[in-house]
Amino acid sequence: MKIGSELESYVLGHSDEELVRLERQAEIFSEATEAILSLAGLRTGMRVLDLGCGVGDVSLIAARLVGAEGRVVGIDRAEEALSTARRRVAAAGLSNITFESRDIEALQDVEPFDAVIGRFILMHLPRSAAILADLKSVVVPNGLLAFIEMDISSSSAVPPMPLFTRCLDWITTLYRRAGMEPDMGSKLYGVFRAAGLAPHLHGICRVEGGPDATAYDYVAETIRTMSPNLQKLGLATAEELDVETLSARLRQASLEADTCFVFPRFVGAWART
């Protein structure tokens, strides 16, 4: 089946629910993101380009790391996401971040940056290695290229929870059917090598359990935003997904079995040109 003709090119869409999901995702992954960007070498005063910035979480973290003397430019092709990003930056009172509506596949006339970064973006780009290779010309000599991705199928519930396993299967199957890579985290090594770069890598994994675990809402909101496409491809019916009760069902099943959630492995890769 040809997916491109049936699904939106960006499989999660940009509904209000998806923008909220992106902000929740940011809360879950912000510490790990900051740790990896620091390890990669983001420092005070750097000029940074954030690719596929979405609602601006990574740009906000980068802006903290580069400080008032540095500068961050976030780009995304989704205007709805950029409007939210601009509102958040204004609310934070920051003047060192700007956002531009651009397609990563057509980056021309870009000033040289000290670093190009991106989180959860290479998984969406079928030509990821070729794009990474092209990015060498967007940074100064010895400039930094740093990307962060997940291995979604490395996630698990212990002891196993059938409802969680089904959700994970829906998520990874939809990404694959839409031509995206759900396990880009560990594939970053190969993508960097194919782009002619020798990467340093670091992985972090969040593990949690109990009534206040963030996994219930995070999984349910991911399924909610994927729900139209899951149904369109016949991967699940609205009744099977039952998104309104999904978070509560995950929480109940988890508390009954005293489940521990191992989040997807979160992998950073970086290299100097």
**Spatial CB neighbours of 270, under 8 Å, sequence gap ≥ 6:** 36, 39, 40, 41, 144, 145, 146, 147, 199, 200
Contact criterion met (CB below 8 Å) for 257 and 202: no
Residue type at 78 in one-letter notation = A
Choose between 55 and 161: whose C-beta lies nearer to ligand SAM: 55
Three-state secondary structure of 91-103:
HCCCCCEEEEECC
Binding mask 85-104 for ligand SAM (x = CB under 6 A): ------------------xx
Q: Is residue 66 within the footprint of ligand SAM (CB under 6 A)? A: no
Choose between 179 and 190: whose C-beta lies nearer to ligand SAM: 179
Choose between 117 and 161: whose C-beta lies nearer to ligand SAM: 117
Q: Is residue 131 within the footprint of ligand SAM (CB under 6 A)? A: no
Contact criterion met (CB below 8 Å) for 196 and 272: no
Q: Is residue 37 within the footprint of ligand SAM (CB under 6 A)? A: no
Helix (H, G, I), strand (E, B) or coil at 9: coil
Residue 25, H or E segment: helix 16-40
Least CB distance to ligand SAM at residue 99 (A): 11
Residue (of 95, 114, 99) closest to 42 by Cα position:
114
Task: Give exposure, 2-13, as e/b (b: 16+ Cβ within 10 Å).
Answer: ebeeebeebbbb
Q: Is residue 146 within the footprint of ligand SAM (CB under 6 A)? A: no
Choose between 179 and 209: whose C-beta lies nearer to ligand SAM: 179
Give the total residue count for the chain: 273
Return the CA Rg of the chain.
Answer: 19
Among 36, 73, 81, 146, binds ligand SAM (CB under 6 A): 81
Least CB distance to ligand SAM at residue 158 (A): 26
Q: For residues 6-25, which are near ligand SAM according to CB under 6 A?
A: 10, 22
Choose between 85 and 197: whose C-beta lies nearer to ligand SAM: 85
The Cβ of residue 211 has, within 10 Å, a number of other Cβ atoms equal to 8
Taking CB positions, which residue lies at the least distance from ligand SAM?
54
Choose between 78 and 135: whose C-beta lies nearer to ligand SAM: 78
Binding mask 179-198 for ligand SAM (x = CB under 6 A): --------------------
Residues that bind ligand SAM (CB under 6 A): 10, 22, 26, 52-54, 57-58, 76-78, 81, 103-105, 119-121, 124
